[in-house]
Structures are given as C-alpha cells and as structure tokens.
Amino acid sequence: MVLENDRYTYRVTWSEEDGEYVGLCVEFPSLSWLAGTPEEALQGIRQVVADVVADMQANGEDVPEPIATRKFSGKFLVRIPPEQHRKLALEAAEAGVSLNRLASAKLSQ
C-alpha cells in the first residue's frame, strides 16, 4: 500500500553504526527503515509510514498532520534566564531595533 497525497517529511541519511542508509520520517520519529541504497531507504520508510497510517485509521486513532500542511502563526514563546533577557534587551536598544527583530535576526543566522 502507498499513501495517496503523501506529504510527510522524509530524510535519508547514512548510519555508520548500521553500515546502511536509514530512512526517517519527522512526523513519526519512532519509525525507521534500513537499506543498502538511499532510494531503497526512502521507499522502505514511506511504506512503513503508509502501513502505520492505515493501521491508525483502522483503529480510529488520530493520524499526525504533515508539517508541510500545518499553518504557522509566526509566533512562539521562548523562555530564557532573566540575565540573558537583559543582555538581549540591551543589545537591541544599542542597535536601535526591537527585541523581537533582534531575536528574529539571531534565529535566522
């Protein structure tokens, strides 16, 4: 079985420990597939994900939404130590920008 409209996020990387390529899916971090070539690793993990999604649907479980189709607001809250907050606020003031703009610039580096 193959998923129709498969929009999950896949990665294939070399596993030195296993001596093979490993296929991974971001939305299903507990799943993986080992294979001798990158193409086989991708094909294998996509099949495993398709099987797991089918099983979840058959059991009435919630299936993870693909990251690619999620809507993001552009906002998130980050907690940092007060001294780090003070340091960043000072840096932003000295640069003549908002703390938000400074943090955004640092995150995009």
Q: Do 95 and 56 have their domain in common?
A: no
> What 3-state class would DSSP assign to 14?
strand
Q: Do 23 and 62 have their domain in common?
A: yes
Tens digits of per-residue pLDDT, 29-86?
Answer: 999 999 999 999 999 999 999 999 999 999 999 999 999 999 999 999 999 999 999 9
Q: Do 63 and 78 have their domain in common?
A: no
| C-alpha radius of gyration, the chain, whole number | 21
Cα–Cα distance for residue pair 57/3, rounded to 1 Å: 12
Write the secondary structure of 46-62 as one string of H (helix), E (strand) and C (coil): HHHHHHHHHHHHHCCCC
Q: Record the pTM.
A: 0.76
Q: Do 60 and 29 have their domain in common?
A: yes
Domain containing residue 92: 72-107
Tens digits of per-residue pLDDT, 18-35?
Answer: 999 999 999 999 999 999
In a domain, 57, yes or no: yes
